[in-house]
Amino acid sequence: MRITCDGESLDAYEGETVAGALLAAGVRTLRTSPRRGEPRGLFCAMGVCFDCVVTVDDRTGVRACVTPVRDGMSVETSVGGRP
């Protein structure tokens, strides 16, 4: 499968989570903290902490660690002030 993250095309595999696909592609920072701009990424890996929230197909606040990839999915991180 192919997904897009911040405009870059990445490989993904059926059954893999968004976080797994991004980690495999070398993406470690999924968002920055609102107050201090500190990097946030995968922390609990089971959908509890919300550190891995991204935008998937224009839907904000999606937890990457529990969301399965779909072919053609568009993922946007919120790094550098982007939503």
Per residue in 18-50, pLDDT (tens digit) is 999 999 999 999 999 888 889 999 999 999 999
Q: What is the mean pLDDT of the chain?
A: 92
pLDDT at 63 over 70: yes
Mean pLDDT, residues 47-66: 94
pTM of the predicted structure, to 2 decimals: 0.89
Instruction: Please name the fold of domain 2-76.
Output: Ubiquitin-like (UB roll) (3.10.20)
User: In the chain, where are the structural domains located?
Assistant: 2-76
pLDDT of residue 35: 85
Could you tell me where the beta strands, DSSP code E, fall in 1-83? 2-5, 8-11, 31-32, 39-40, 53-56, 59-63, 74-76
pLDDT of residue 41: 92
Band of pLDDT at residue 80, cut at 50, 70 and 90 = low
